Copies of this chain bind each other. A is one copy, B any other.
Amino acid sequence: METPEAMTQFWAVVPAGGAGTRLWPLSRASSPKFLHDLTGSGRTLIQATIDRLAPLVDDRVLVITGAAHEDAVRRQLPALDRDRVIAEPSPRDSMAAIGLAAALLERDDPDAVLGSFAADHVISDQAAFEAGVREAVSVAQTGVLVTIGIEPTFAATGFGYIRAGVALAGFETACTVKEFVEKPDAERAAGYVASGEYRWNGGMFVVRASVLLDLLAENHPDLAAGLRAIAADPARLGELWPDLEKIAIDHAVAEPAAVAGRVAVVPGRFGWDDIGDYASLGSIVDAAPDGIRVLGEDALVIRKDASGLVIPAAGRTIAVVGLENIVVVDTGDALLVTTYEHAQDVKAVVDALKQSGRADLT
């Protein structure tokens, strides 16, 4: 197991990006889902993410977010020092975001280990989360890329999967990774879950900062060099950032490293959800005895013969009568009415609004 010294070199890196288009009108480009309390806990998703990491990293946290959200992130996380929030001049996908944090950490401590945790995921069972991360840190210190693979609870088609290989000697639960696979269709997903070999890819990577950048340099040398150059002279951020390659960390590093046998997986034995759409959100909001799930003030929702998710975010009274699995999201300037079944189609609404010149609502 890890030593206390090991954990003092462990940093949490929290990329806070993504508009959460399928959660419109609650989530907007101007106010993405990580800034919202989507669980009714009283904490926004990014606040809950930082809370969850605190026992592992204390104040060793770097948040990378878009320039447009920097102020909101700082307001929501007042305890973070100024230099712990990094504003990207423009979106360059997850490799540049996490890679910049890695380069800054590597510069200050060549042995630093980082764990990347999205700002807008929901995790239950804090103890299991901490145990998984601690084991991942220990494994990462052997020089491999470690991912935390969520134990699947159903045959999800909305997530990528990780195929585990053999157990890693000297660790409790860690295994090698055979491959990362893209979001499967329903039949393949069922096969993955039945096999017991596959875990959900929740985008949680734990790795020594220098290992991540060295792995990146093998296939994307310009990107790795650019990130290290910015770390060496942060004044060059604005100059170098726009030319960085736009690529996801999975494609840039994780998949090639898995092929090379340099990735391990630690099973994540905790509840996890990326709240990708309103069906997903509905599954984590508690149901009232009558079957309706209300995210917000229950007394605002009058219901009769109805089930589903109602979000009275505008503070108005909402009556729902005779509808199964309905989704009603009421905000000050826009209202969505759909069903769990059509939750993925909400993206089309945002596209339609943009096309009709109502980007102000997206």
Contact = CB atoms under 8 A, between A and B. Distances in A.
Interface residues of A, number: 36
Interface in A325-359: 326, 328, 330, 332-339, 341-342, 345-346, 348-349, 352-353, 356, 358
Nearest to A310: B337
Given A302-B352, A352-B302, A345 B321 contact: yes
A319 interface: yes
A328 B337 contact: yes
Query: Which residue, A25, A318, A326, A337, has most C-beta atoms of chain B within 10 A?
Result: A337
Interface in A188-228: none
A323 B196 CA distance: 38
A346 B318 CA distance: 12
A280 interface: no
Interface string A225-243: 0000000000000000000
A319 B21 CA distance: 14
A338 B321 contact: yes
A316 interface: yes
A318 B352 CA distance: 12
Contacts of A337: 318-321, 323, 326, 328, 337
B322 A345 contact: yes
B302 A342 contact: no
The 5 closest A-B pairs by CB, nearest first: A322-B342, A321-B338, A319-B349, A317-B334, A318-B335
